[in-house]
Structure 1
Amino acid sequence: MEKKKILIRIGSLRHGGAEKVLVTFLKNLPKDKYEIDLLLNLYSGKYLAEVPDWISVLYLNKGEMITTNRIQDIPKKAYRVLYQKLLKKFPKILYSTVLKNKKYDVEFAAIHGMRDDILDSPIKSSKKIVWIHNDLRKTKFHNYTDQEIRKFFGFDKIMVISEHIQKDFESLVQNEVEKSKIVRIYNPLDTEEILLKSQDPRIKNQDQQTTTDKQQPTFVSVGTVFPQKGFDRLLKVHKKLLDEGFKHRIQIIGDGYDFENIKNLKTELGVNETAEMLGFTDNPYPSIKAADFYILSSRYEGFPTVLFEAITLKKNIIATDVSGVQEMLENGNLGLIVENSEEGIYEGMKKALTEPDFFEQYQENLKEYKMPFNLENSVNKIMEIIDYI
């Protein structure tokens, strides 16, 4: 049987949750069934090395993301922006050059930001899929209106990752056909890999701390470093609790365009000795496992997969009440859900430091907890969409 030809589009394979989920999905696909072209706006990212070699990786620009406005960087930055805008406005040029007039059976926007790029494809016969990872009402650059969200119904299938996002889309449907386009699929998550990696003996956890430091409760948080994740709020709460005499440590694992700002804030607050910024790693699991608490300080999310990673490692969890959290933590049965504010984070961390026994109930519940999905089921469900769309 002839292989189904698929085009997948995403910005890059840097260090975001959507990028990690996409690569996990690709790694678990049968290579004899599909012919896949993965088109990146920017050929960069830590997850590039994990893309299976049978998948063809194409790109519009190459090199690392330019996050500064230094004079020497402006020409290259401007060229990239203009080139991408040109190809976006005249997609036939992209399809005739970079994609060499290939005819695809399925075109797949792996993130919501690729909506127009896929919907404007000159290949009218292809089936089109989009993967929504965020609450579009609260995205990084702008909040989507009803009218903007309605444009996603131009896709044949809209894959959403949480009940909250599903309900938001369903509130805008105008007929049964549109409702049938929406399908909720939990992100593919390799729990066996998480457990295995968490035992990696090469990863040192808090080895540099003194014996006294090791006795202090540690809160760890993992994510791309930009305002959405609320690491600024986390550090301010950390400082406030230290000033009140509550000794503890913070570890932030991740990288992103806001890294230097958060690092500078750490210095301004005078918490360099108690708060660590460990940068990006493809294996944060030993650090999560070694910590006393996992904390999610986000301002908004779609479905924070990292919480399922923390659940897999049976960690005590404190999370702001953002999209997906009530669903993942079973309305507070598996972890402490706090108000989505600096005050909420403060109250949650203070409870952890003053009433550690309070978290024993979560540990009991986590012992009996079984994931509502597994990697194989998630991958099979997406494959089913691709095969029978």
Structure 2
Amino acid sequence: MKKKKIFCLIGQLGNGGTEKQLYLFLKYLDREQYNPTVIVSSSDKGKWGKYIEELSIPVISLCGMNQIFKLLKFRYLVFKYKPEVIFSWSFFTNAFYMFAGRSRFIGGLRGDLHVAKEKLHPFHRAKSLDNESFIVNSSLLKKELMQEGIKEDKINLIHNIYERNKNFSEKPYLEKWRNELRKKMEVSEDTILVASIARNTPEKDIPFFIDVFQKASERMPRLKAFLIGEGGTAFAEEIKRRGLSEKFILTGHYENASELLPAADIYFLSSKTEGMPNVILEALDAGCCVFSTDVGGVGDILSELGEELSSKVILKDRNIDSGTEKLIETAQNPALRKKIIEKSGECLKQFQPEKIMSGYYEVLKRIER
């Protein structure tokens, strides 16, 4: 049987969540039926590019060219390889559809639409919304596209793939690892450790985490913060200025950040915007109770908890005082945290590779008709 050629078009192959999702899509793609090639528009520096090449999938870079030459090179590649389907994995590469020839083109949206639009000039923005169909990874993003006038039947909701940590599925291992981490960090058993993994970007809003945590810890001294990644160290001086140094553990850059999550009792996502936050899945997998702003796909992930439970740990606004109250309520309620942890497996089932890939195959079959 002749394999169908697919182009996966992405803006960059850095170290982000979209790149990881592309890698997982390619990892689980049926290579007996499909022959994929990755086209990178802007930057090919990062670990996921290397991982994709290790799957024996070619990566073609358009980096270093001006925009006109990029588009011409892309058009040449389409003419040369004649892919049946082109998947765009970055919002700004959706506009490449104008040079897709007869190939079927599927646009992508994997992060907040308003943020994505702000980065583009009006013509580019309009063309990035002018695709024959789209794939989004959360209900919120689907709603945002519909508000732009895009018909619902053109939008395919396919959640992120999540590979569970095999070690974390074994409760004895997880408990042992938790104890070892907390001992190494000199965190007592009665301390409530509130963690976050974040880059230092405005979207991650680490100041909101610090503000809420500070007010909560003033009323509940057992709380301690655990900021993983360079986002935390970027605010080290501010934390010191507030007299909170003893209340914060800052790791700086850590290659496998999710490996540290079992030490935490609560994972606090303070982001202003998200697509489908993989870190919430990682936190649930690591045995953390999650506590989050109402962004991106958080509601989709926690839907299996039911409205009563999820409403207790999702912040509907960005008010520091209400965030403080909810964090304290979560920290003071071990029964609530236990319930959420017990239901985490049901939440994670929605994102199993086989389930998510079936959604991609359904889209592929539909457009091949």
Q: Give TM-score, length-normalised by structure 2.
A: 0.81
Tell me the matched-pair count. 357
Structure 1 residue 182: Cα displacement: 1.0
> What one-letter code is carried by the residue in structure 1 that aligns with 2:91?
H
Q: In the alignment, which residue of structure 1 is the partner of 2:48?
A: 47
Q: In the alignment, which residue of structure 1 is the partner of 2:316?
A: 339
Q: For 2:78 and 2:292, how far apart are their aligned partners in 1?
A: 43
Superposed CA RMSD in Å reads: 3.5
Q: Answer yes or no: is the 8 Å Cα contact 2:285–2:348 preserved in 1.
A: no
Structure 1 residue 185: Cα displacement: 1.0
Q: In the alignment, which residue of structure 1 is the partner of 2:186?
A: 210
Q: 1:238-249, aligned counterparts within 5 Å?
A: 238-244=213-219, 246-249=221-224
Q: For 1:87 and 1:264, how far apart are their aligned partners in 2?
A: 45
With over 3 angstroms needed to count, the CA separation of the structure-2 counterparts of 1:370 and 1:277, relative to structure 1, is closer
| SS of match in other structure, 2:62 | strand
With over 3 angstroms needed to count, the CA separation of the structure-2 counterparts of 1:370 and 1:109, relative to structure 1, is closer
With over 3 angstroms needed to count, the CA separation of the structure-2 counterparts of 1:351 and 1:22, relative to structure 1, is same
Structure 1 residue 34: Cα displacement: 2.4
Q: In the alignment, which residue of structure 2 is the partner of 1:109?
A: 88
| 1:85 is aligned to 2:67 | yes
Runs of at least 5 residues in structure 1 that lack an aligned partner in the other structure: 62-79
Q: Answer yes or no: is the 8 Å Cα contact 1:60–1:84 preserved in 2.
A: no
With over 3 angstroms needed to count, the CA separation of the structure-2 counterparts of 1:377 and 1:352, relative to structure 1, is closer
Q: Answer yes or no: is the 8 Å Cα contact 2:15–2:48 preserved in 1.
A: yes
Q: In the alignment, which residue of structure 2 is the partner of 1:318?
A: 291
More helix as a share of residues = 2
| SS of match in other structure, 1:14 | coil
Q: Answer yes or no: is the 8 Å Cα contact 2:27–2:55 preserved in 1.
A: no
Q: For 2:117 and 2:144, how far apart are their aligned partners in 1?
A: 19
| 1:59 is aligned to 2:61 | yes
Structure 1 residue 279: Cα displacement: 4.4
Q: Answer yes or no: is the 8 Å Cα contact 2:163–2:353 preserved in 1.
A: yes
Q: For 2:204 and 2:183, how far apart are their aligned partners in 1?
A: 27
Q: In the alignment, which residue of structure 1 is the partner of 2:108?
A: 131
Q: In the alignment, which residue of structure 2 is the partner of 1:8?
A: 8
Q: Answer yes or no: is the 8 Å Cα contact 2:106–2:132 preserved in 1.
A: yes
Q: For 2:242 and 2:13, how far apart are their aligned partners in 1?
A: 33
Q: Answer yes or no: is the 8 Å Cα contact 1:13–1:44 preserved in 2.
A: yes
Q: For 2:331 and 2:203, how far apart are their aligned partners in 1?
A: 25
With over 3 angstroms needed to count, the CA separation of the structure-2 counterparts of 1:16 and 1:93, relative to structure 1, is closer
Structure 1 residue 291: Cα displacement: 0.9
Q: In the alignment, which residue of structure 1 is the partner of 2:27?
A: 27
Q: Answer yes or no: is the 8 Å Cα contact 2:287–2:341 preserved in 1.
A: yes
Q: In the alignment, which residue of structure 1 is the partner of 2:196?
A: 221
Q: 1:1-389, aligned counterparts within 5 Å?
A: 1-40=1-40, 41-51=42-52, 52-61=54-63, 80=64, 83-88=65-70, 91-96=71-76, 101-116=80-95, 118-121=96-99, 123-137=100-114, 139=115, 142=118, 151-152=127-128, 154-173=130-149, 178-191=151-164, 193=166, 195=168, 205-210=181-186, 212=188, 215-244=190-219, 246-255=221-230, 261-281=234-254, 283-330=256-303, 331-334=307-310, 336-341=313-318, 342-363=320-341, 365-366=343-344, 371-389=349-367
Runs of at least 5 residues in structure 2 that lack an aligned partner in the other structure: none
Q: Answer yes or no: is the 8 Å Cα contact 1:226–1:259 preserved in 2.
A: no
With over 3 angstroms needed to count, the CA separation of the structure-2 counterparts of 1:368 and 1:45, relative to structure 1, is closer
**Mean CA deviation greater in 352-361 or 124-133:** 352-361
